[in-house]
Structure 1
Amino acid sequence: MTADDFRALYERLRSQAAPPAVNGRCGALRHLTPERVAASASEVRLGRTVSMAAPIETVPGPDDPEPAVHRMTGPSPRDLRSDALHFATDRFAMNVHGDADSHLDALCHVVFDGELYGGVPASTVTDAGAGRLSVDLLGDGIVGRGVLLDIPRLRGVPWLEPGDHVTSGDLTAAEAAQGVRVGPGDLLFVRVGHRLRRTELGPWDSAAARVGLHPTAVEFLAEREVSALGGDGNNDTAPSVVEDIAFPVHVLAIHAMGTHLMDYLGFEDLVPVCTRAGRWSFLCVVAPLRLTGATGSPVNPIAVL
């Protein structure tokens, strides 16, 4: 994809997007109306809950050189030998935007052309945190109809190989094959098999080679008025197909359209449940941590079938 073609796509998607809201929901979450939230409850048939997050990594690997740190702060060995009351306590720290752990990107995450989404000045992000568009906009969570499109299932393979792309044609073909249609306000989840490949073959340097959406597939999100996008990879292919733009899908989805992204989710527990039920839509609950001024959050989306 040439730089000119990418710029034309960016400007087209940006012109169609809603501007940031001062209060309440902004960007693509405006498609998720109270009526659509209420209607999503009808997706529950089995009363079954399934996590779409992967366990947080604490061991270094080729795709996670700075893993999360989990340290026990109590009780001490001396406390364990006593008969008095003590509490087990611990401390946790992580790089939110790594290449292994499930996380959500806030709308302040992408700086492009010296701006954030909606023309918000990049200077609003300082050492003290993001002054606007941070993850605390999602303090009440995201609840709506989730739809999982399984691209390896469509192609008859266990996973897509790094460097491959998911196109708009793949998304519409997966809808037809799975008997589901993505609609306004939906939370779209796209499986490429990244997590299964990592489990079966071991981690690799996914910053250099991974599967994602082709930039033109973002038009599918705009046409269907999708409220959020989640993938089991980074959502962006590596190497990028756009010269000098390493993360074109992030730029288009977050910066141009105001769409929250969820990266490195895990769908391997959900796929068999959907297969047995013969249904690929569900009630979805996404609850990021309430972090003031943060550019993202670890996340554990829950599918309720």
Structure 2
Amino acid sequence: MSEEAFRSLYRRLREQARDGTDPGRGALGHLTPERVVAAATEVRAGRTVSLAAPIETTPGPDNPQPASHRMTASAPGAADAPGLHFALDRFAMNVHGDADSHLDALCHVMYDGELYGGVPASSVTPDGAGALTSELVRDGIVGRGVLLDVPRLRGVPWLEPGDHVTADDLVAAEEAQGVTVGPGDLLFVRVGHRRRRRSLGPWNAAQQRAGLHPAAMAFLAERRVAALGSDGNNDTAPGAVAEVPFPVHVLAMNALGLHLMDYLNFEELLPVCEQLRRWHFLCVIAPLRFPAATGSPVNPIAVL
């Protein structure tokens, strides 16, 4: 896609997003209280499944700055000593890495000097973001989750790095799985990143990964999706727009106001969906409350 075509798509989606969305909440405006109530009826079997991968503390080619975890209290021998003792620890994480599951706040993406809704990018300072932070979803995101499995559609275990998920793929996956993405849905698109990583080992995902084609974002805009998540970065690398390294991030977050979830894990959800023959479920997403943060570790829970 040329930069000119990308900018044309960006302008069209941005204009389209102004119809029916809340400038203060972005695409979450599609997730009305009525749709949350309807999502609760998705629970049939009472089974819960995490959509997050275990946080990693070991460096790797896709995780050169891994999360750190250390014990801060529990003296040697305390476990055998009489009386009361506490085990304490400390955790630190690079939120926007290429290995751990996380949610991107709307202030994460700056494009042409602006955030979503025309908010000046200067509102993000070295001390933190002043608008559209992860605090925007402090009450969580609860709605109907829909998983579209593109490798299953194509008859492969995973998409190879550099491959694109198109709008046609999403429509075909709907038809194959007997599900339709609708207004207010939380859309999860599987590319098989986690299965490939588990089978072949980690690689430099910053340089090579499967993801959505920028033109596929028109599908999400037309269906009025409330949030988007993938087991990859959502963006393909190498990208489809040479001049814009993360076109899906720009279109989703900056134009449409869609919160993104990167590097989720669907491998535990897949067998449950296949067993129940259902690809839609109640989904509960509860980011941490960091008032000035551009994102948060996240552990979405599917309730089927």
Percent identity over the alignment?
Answer: 71
- Which residue is equivalent to 2:181? 182
Deviation at 1:244, TM superposition (A): 1.6
Provide, for residues 157-200 of structure 1, a one-character-per-residue CA deviation record: whole Å limited to 9, x for no partner.
Answer: 00000000000000000000000000000000000000000001
Shift in Å, 1:67: 0.2
For residue 154 of structure 2, what is the amino acid of its counterpart? Answer: R
> Which residues in structure 2 correspond to 1:87-126 (within 5 Å)?
87-126=86-125
Residues 20 and 117 of structure 1 are in contact (CA less than 8 Å); yes or no, is this contact kept in structure 2?
A: no
Alignment of 1:46-57 (within 5 A): 46-57=45-56
Aligned to 1:197: 196
Task: Render the CA deviation track for 1:190-214: whole Å, top value 9, x for unaligned.
Answer: 0000000000100000000000000
Contact 2:146 2:188 in 1 (8 A): yes
Aligned to 1:11: 11
- Residues of 1 paired with 2:137 and 2:9: CA distance? 28
Displacement of 1:81 in angstroms is 4.4
What is the CA-CA distance between 1:21 and the residue it aligns to?
3.6
Give the deviation of 1:32 after TM superposition: 0.2
SS of alignment partner, residue 144 of structure 2: strand
Give 1:44 shift: 0.5
Give 2:161's aligned amino acid.
Answer: P
Aligned-pair distance for 1:80? 3.5
The 8 Å contact of residues 285 and 301 in structure 1, kept in 2 or not, is answered as yes
Aligned to 2:260: 261
How far apart, in 2, do the equivalents of 1:161 and 1:285 lie?
Answer: 30
Tell me, yes or no, if the aligned pair for 1:20 and 1:118 is still in contact at 8 Å.
no
Deviations 1:55-108 (A, max 9, x none): 001000000000000000111115344212110000000000000000000000
Q: Which residue of 2 is the match for residue 225 of structure 1?
A: 224
- Give the superposition deviation at 1:288: 0.3
Q: Which moved more, 1:166-175 or 1:116-125?
A: 116-125
SS at match of 2:69: strand
| Rounded Cα–Cα distance in structure 2 between residues aligned with 1:245 and 1:290 | 30
The one-letter amino acid of 1:74's match is: A
Shift of 1:16: 1.1
Separation in 2 of the partners of 1:6 and 1:21? 23
Give the superposition deviation at 1:20.
5.7
In structure 2, the gaps of 5 or more residues are: none
Partners of 1:144 and 1:4 in 2: CA distance: 35
Residue matched to 2:297: 298
Aligned residues: 302
Contact 2:22 / 2:29 at 8 angstroms: preserved in 1?
no
Structure-1 residue corresponding to 2:126: 127
Q: Hey, what's the Cα distance between the residues in 2 that align with 1:213 and 1:27?
A: 20
**One-letter code of the match for 1:267?**
F
Give the drift of 1:242: 0.3
Q: Is the 8 A contact 1:40 1:283 kept in 2?
A: yes
One-letter code aligned to 2:9: L
Distance in 2, Cα, partners of 1:62 & 1:213: 22
Q: Which moved more, 1:74-83 or 1:152-161?
A: 74-83
- Rounded to whole Å, the distance in 2 between the matches of 1:240 and 1:39 is 37
* Counterpart position of 2:144: 145
1:284 maps to 283
Q: State the TM-score, normalized to the length of structure 1.
A: 0.98
Task: Note the residue ranges of structure 1 that are not aligned, 5 or more in a row.
Answer: none
The CA deviation string for residues 105-149 of structure 1, in whole angstroms up to 9 with x for no partner, is 000000110111111011111111110000001010000000000
Cα distance in 1 between the residues matched to 2:184 and 2:285 = 14
Helix, strand or coil: the match of 2:111? coil
SS of the residue aligned with 1:77?
coil
DSSP-derived class of the 1:113 partner: coil
Alpha-carbon distance in structure 2 between the residues aligned to 1:178 and 1:20: 31
CA distance in structure 1 between the aligned counterparts of 2:79 and 2:279, rounded to whole angstroms: 48
Instruction: Please tell me the root mean square deviation across aligned C-alpha atoms, in Å.
Output: 0.9
Deviates more, 1:80-89 or 1:137-146: 80-89
1:62 matched residue in structure 2? 61
Look up the equivalent residue of 1:146 and give its one-letter code.
Answer: G
**Distance in 2 between residues matched to 1:21 and 1:226, nearest whole Å:** 15
d(CA) in 2 for partners of 1:103 and 1:275? 25
Tell me, in whole angstroms, the C-alpha distance in 2 between the residues paired with 1:38 and 1:241.
38
